[in-house]
Amino acid sequence: MQLPELIRPLSVKSIQGSVDREITGVRYDSRRVNPGNLFVAVRGGAFDGHSFIEQAVDKGAVAVVGEQAALSKRATAIVVEDSRAALAQLGATFFGYPSRKLKMIGVTGTNGKSTTTFLIKHLLERANQPTGLVGTVQYEIGERLLPAPRTTPESLDLQELLSQCVEAGCRNVVIEVSSHALSQGRANEIEFAIGVFTNLTRDHLDFHRGMKDYFEAKARLFESLRQTGTKDRKAVINIDDPYGQQLVGRFGRDLSIITYGMGARADFRASDFKVEMNGTSYRLDANDKSYLVRLPLIGRFNIYNSLAALATARAVGLDIRNAVLALAKAPQIPGRLEAVPAKRKFQVFVDYAHTDDALLNVVKTCRDLNPSRLILVFGCGGDRDRTKRPLMGAIADQYANYAFITSDNPRKEDPEEILRDVEAGFQHKNYEKVVDRKAAIARAIAMAQPRDIVLIAGKGHEKYQEFSDHTVPFDDVEVAGRALEEHPVELSRHGS
């Protein structure tokens, strides 16, 4: 692509050097630059891309975009006000605005995003609509499954993924849109057709300046829908959540809104629900009709996730009855109350719950299953919001018969200090601290007796553990499976 065509959408402050350039690609990581590329210098939390401009030019970058007045004398230098905004615009232009060729469905909220996106994709594909997925667990492009280094990719990478979805024949793409991504402009230049809001509870307050700032970040998804100016843009909103009610009040006059929840005002309303070990059922009232929904996922929170998916299916134009039938065949979402295969008389679950609200939801769900005891293994991530740690400890203290406080992803923090923060929420002595996560899981499983539930929370689908100077492979499901195999004597003695 010719440089003038590529930079046409940008608000350029100045250009130094020739614009008669053929651009072979756009990069923001100097290590990935190839000859003929345009390099965008983006300021990040740990690094400033402006420091790597000369390295990018050494590797063949012929043009540079950045915010500083003097960028480079060896390449065409294009100065802009905001490099992040420019990166999104350049990505969309270079890859041919792929979101315009797809029905884009964005899901935002604190909890439930991954499950909701999986369910939406399932319903669309059962209706013969090939659908891509971008989210926390993985990226799905046609038949390809890719690891997900972050929930919402950087804007340039996201545009490339969307272009691959177009090439793979996808009609829709459903994407988890994180508050970080919305704040940092990673979802800029994505033309969403539908925005979905799940809920808002305490999380990421190490990044946001409080709940109001956190909420405003989420609201940007719906502001982008409003700014498109077309009447077919729709919002699917959990009206049981007070922040969802605020969204309805703010955007109700400009967007077509479908609400869901358990209250009488919801357009998609659940009632008469029943939670069992093999799934959940409930009555759905929508569009003046009633349906019996059977969902092979456990828990009240999954009722909300499935309501969001059904309401989104309706927003896309699918038949509700067919969507309800399709839900009965919904897949297990990795790390979301995932049962660890084991021929035992007790059950082991792995769940991603890493906030106080998510932990409360999942322990309540386990309690709904009426176990003899609930044994909980959990921790809190390092270098993240410390205020939720004692809150999670208090939830474990109240709802678990016994808890093992252990390491999650300590990152650069002292694991012992994190555990002490969590311990502050306990009032009883129904817990012990085991820093080594593998050992904590093994102890919990060795303790289990018939009709107990062992819940391993915090990491879910993750297959690694982050420490200050290294990352190690770690999969809760695999570790729990090995612990089940390695304790035959204890398990047998307890009646398995």
Q: pLDDT, tens digit, for every residue of 197-220? A: 999 986 555 554 678 898 999 999
C-alpha–C-alpha distance, residues 472 and 463, integer Å: 9
Which pLDDT belongs to residue 493?
Answer: 40
Chain-centre distance of CA 282, in angstroms?
26
Please give the pLDDT value at position 210. Answer: 78
How does the average pLDDT of the chain come out, rounded? 93
Mean pLDDT calculated for residue range 473-490:
86
Higher pLDDT, 232 or 249: 249
pLDDT at 211: 87
Q: State the pLDDT at residue 230.
A: 62
Beta strands in 198-339 (DSSP E): 234-238, 256-261, 268-276, 279-286, 289-295, 338-339
CATH class belonging to 98-327: alpha beta
Rg of the Cα atoms in the chain: 24
Residue 430, pLDDT above cutoff 60:
yes
Q: Which CATH architecture has domain 3-94?
A: 3-Layer(aba) Sandwich (3.40)
pLDDT reported for residue 489: 45
**Per-domain residue ranges of the chain:** 3-94, 98-327, 338-493
- pLDDT in the model for residue 231: 66
User: What is the distance between the alpha carbons of residues 308 and 258, in angstroms, rounded to a whole number?
Assistant: 9
Domains 3-94 and 338-493 share a fold: no
Dihedral (C-alpha) 384, 390, 392, 394: value to the nearest 10 degrees?
Answer: 180
Q: Say whether pLDDT at 335 is over 80.
A: yes
Residue type, 47: F
Q: Please report which residue ranges of 81-127 form alpha helices under DSSP H.
A: 83-94, 113-126
| 342-396 pLDDT, tens digit each | 889 999 999 999 999 899 999 999 999 999 999 999 999 999 889 999 999 999 9
Strands (E) located in 127-278: 131-134, 138-141, 144-147, 172-176, 192-197, 234-238, 256-261, 268-276
pLDDT at 496: 35
Which of the four pLDDT bands, split at 50, 70 and 90, describes residue 97? very high
What are the CA-CA distances from residue 284 to residues 127, 301, 361 (Å)?
A: 20, 15, 21
What does the pLDDT read at residue 152?
A: 84
pLDDT at 491: 40
3-state secondary structure of 206: coil
Q: Looking at residues 22-41, what average pLDDT do you find?
A: 97
Please state which of the ranges 225-234, 321-330, 409-418 shows the lowest mean pLDDT. 225-234
What is the rounded end-to-end Cα distance, in angstroms, of the chain? 65
DSSP for 387-412, please give it: THHHHHHHHHHHH-SEEEE--S--TT
Whole-number pLDDT of residue 421: 97
Q: In what order do the strands lie in the sheet with 279-286?
A: 144-147, 138-141, 131-134, 172-176, 103-108, 192-197, 234-238, 256-261, 268-276, 279-286, 289-295
Alpha helices in 328-475 (DSSP H): 356-368, 388-399, 415-423, 437-447
Q: Per-residue pLDDT averaged across 389-417, rounded? A: 97
What architecture is the 338-493 domain classified under in CATH?
Alpha-Beta Complex (3.90)
The three-point CA angle 336-340-342 to 5° equals: 160
**Burial of 8 per CB tally in 10 Å (0-12, 13-18, 19+):** exposed
Residue type, 299: G
> At residue 28, what are phi and psi to the nearest 5 degrees?
-120, -5
Token representation of residue 82 = 């905001």
User: Beta-carbon neighbour count of residue 68 at 10 Å?
Assistant: 14
